[in-house]
Structures are given as structure tokens and as C-alpha cells.
Amino acid sequence: MMEYIKPKFPAFDIDYKGSMDYIKEDPLFIDEFYYSKSNDYFNNEILNHTIIDSNGNTFKIVGKKDLSGIIRFLPFSKKAEYIFEKLEKKYTLEELKLILNKFIDNKEIQENMIKAKNIEDLFLGR
């Protein structure tokens, strides 16, 4: 049986189509859970997207598994867990800096990105 490998979070949605100037949806995944009740949003905006985790590994979001129990009925709580498929492509810190630079116009943020020592720091702006 093949081992199921989960991404290391935070992770960046490489297929994100929005603008980083006005973020309606966040291109950064903080964990493996889906918090919305909307299946339409999941199917149209998240399903089949590729994410890059904090180790530079890539994963495709291939589905979600609804959570059971009372937690899924509480506002702002986890509704489902993403199902990932591990992909072969792996990114380096330098490659990710170039990719993220395309999304960001803010000079201060760009300067912080240059200083990042690892991918997690890059994603979290440390």
C-alpha cells in the first residue's frame, strides 16, 4: 500500500488567479482543512489547483472529505479535509522567490522575500 503524504503547511496555491493587491481569497493554505460550506467555491476555485508546500513539494488538490461530528456545524470551523495527490515537481527557495515576486508589487514585502532563509519563512513573511 502506498503511503499517503500530506503537504507541510503553510503552502502556496500556484494556480491562484487573484491579485495580491486586493486579496478576496487567500492563496496561502495554513492547513489541510476546508472551512467553507460552499461546494461551488471548492469546485470552481480550489479543486485541481496545485499547491507548493513549505518543503517545496507540489501537490494537486483532487478532492475533499467531509468531516463528521458537530464541529462541521459550528461557524468558522473545519468542514472538510483536502485530499492531495503528490506530484513530482519540487521547487527551490530561489524559484519560489521569483514566482511570488510576480504577484507582489509592494517593495517592502519584496525586500523581506529576498531575506527569507527557507520556504516557510518566505510564505510567512519572516
Q: Which residues of 8-19 are buried (b: 16+ CB within 10 A; e: fewer)?
A: ebbbbbbebeee
**Would you say residue 60 lies in a domain?**
yes
Q: Is residue 82 part of a domain?
A: yes
Q: How far apart are CA 33 and CA 14, in angstroms?
A: 18
**What is the pLDDT of the chain when averaged over all its residues?**
86
Q: Which domain holds residue 65?
A: 11-90
Residues 99-123, mean pLDDT to the nearest whole number: 85
In a domain, 79, yes or no: yes
Residue 76 lies in a domain: yes
The count of structural domains within the chain is 1
CA dihedral sign of residues 50, 5, 31, 64: positive
Total-model pTM: 0.84
Q: What is the mean pLDDT of residues 66-92?
A: 89
pLDDT in tens, 41-64: 899 889 999 999 999 999 999 999
Q: What is the 3-state secondary structure (H, E, C) of 36-67?
A: CCCHHHHHHHHCCCEEECCCCEEEEEEEEEEC
Asked if residue 124 is part of any domain, the answer here is no
Asked if residue 64 lies in contact with residue 50, where contact means CB atoms within 8 angstroms, the answer is no
Is the per-residue pLDDT at 8 higher than 80? yes
